[in-house]
């Protein structure tokens, strides 16, 4: 079957098998930030935006994305660059395997709630599995990034 997707702001038309998962389609298109971690929709590594909503690409048939806008971390480099630096500064990236999914969900959270509490951050990111950290570094990095964004909005004062 043929599908057409706006992938990272570029129109992509492809022939796919009807049972192809979106994660496999995206990786075939060179979107290597989309990771396979669990195949059970429990780890968050495969998170992408479909029409600006975070979606687990391992749980969605590529055919269901036909006619939709799909954004991966490759399509959010400018937005993700600053956020990623704060995660790295806190040593939260360790192996880095979970970072793309964490960053996608973090960006979705910032868009929905630019000033979440620590509890809201934990709740929003609960679906992101990291096998090497205790999540405290990620929480510190997210909090530091939020504080930076607030200081920028207030004219650079911290």
pLDDT, tens digit, for every residue of 17-59? 999 999 999 999 999 999 998 878 889 999 999 999 999 999 9
Q: Do 65 and 108 share a structural domain?
A: no
Q: Do 62 and 7 share a structural domain?
A: yes
Whether 158 maps to a domain, the answer reads no
Do residues 144 and 92 touch, judged by C-beta distance below 8 A?
no
Q: What is the pLDDT of residue 155?
A: 77
**The token pair that represents 62 in the structure block:** 């590529």
Do residues 60 and 126 touch, judged by C-beta distance below 8 A?
no
Out of 74, 107, 131, pick the residue that ends a domain. Answer: 74
Whether 38 maps to a domain, the answer reads yes
Q: Do 105 and 67 share a structural domain?
A: no
Whether 22 maps to a domain, the answer reads yes
Q: Do 102 and 68 share a structural domain?
A: no
Q: Do 103 and 51 share a structural domain?
A: no
Q: For residue 56, what are the domain limits? A: 2-74
Domain count, the chain: 2
Q: Do 125 and 90 share a structural domain?
A: yes
Q: What is the pLDDT of residue 157?
A: 57
pLDDT, one tens digit per residue, over 55-80 is 999 999 999 999 999 999 999 998 89
Q: Do 149 and 122 share a structural domain?
A: yes
Out of 40, 74, 108, pick the residue that ends a domain. Answer: 74
The model carries a pTM of: 0.90
Backbone angles phi, psi at 143, to 5 degrees: -60, -45
CA–CA distance, 131 with 128 (Å, rounded to integer): 10
The CATH number of whichever domain residue 128 belongs to comes to 1.10.150.120
Q: Do 68 and 92 share a structural domain?
A: no
Q: Do 54 and 85 share a structural domain?
A: no
Q: What is the pLDDT of residue 158?
A: 52
What CA dihedral angle connects 147, 33, 138 and 80, to 10 degrees? Answer: -10
Segment 77-97 shows an average pLDDT of: 84
Out of 74, 97, 116, pick the residue that ends a domain. Answer: 74
The CATH number of whichever domain residue 67 belongs to comes to 3.10.20.30
């Amino acid at each position: 079957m043929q599908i057409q997707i706006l992938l990272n702001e570029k129109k992509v038309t492809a022939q796919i098998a009807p049972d192809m998962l979106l994660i496999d389609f995206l990786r075939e298109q060179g979107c290597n930030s989309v990771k396979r971690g669990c195949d059970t929709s429990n780890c968050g590594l495969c998170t992408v935006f479909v029409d600006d909503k975070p979606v687990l690409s391992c749980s969605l048939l590529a055919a269901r994305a036909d006619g939709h806008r799909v954004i991966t971390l490759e399509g959010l480099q400018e937005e993700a660059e600053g956020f990623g630096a704060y995660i790295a500064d806190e040593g939260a990236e360790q192996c880095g395997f979970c970072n793309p999914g964490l960053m996608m969900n973090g960006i979705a959270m910032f868009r929905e709630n630019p000033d979440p509490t620590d509890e809201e951050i934990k709740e929003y990111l609960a679906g992101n599995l990291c096998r090497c950290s205790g999540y405290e570094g990620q929480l510190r990095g997210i909090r530091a990034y939020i504080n930076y964004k607030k200081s920028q909005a207030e004219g650079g004062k911290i």
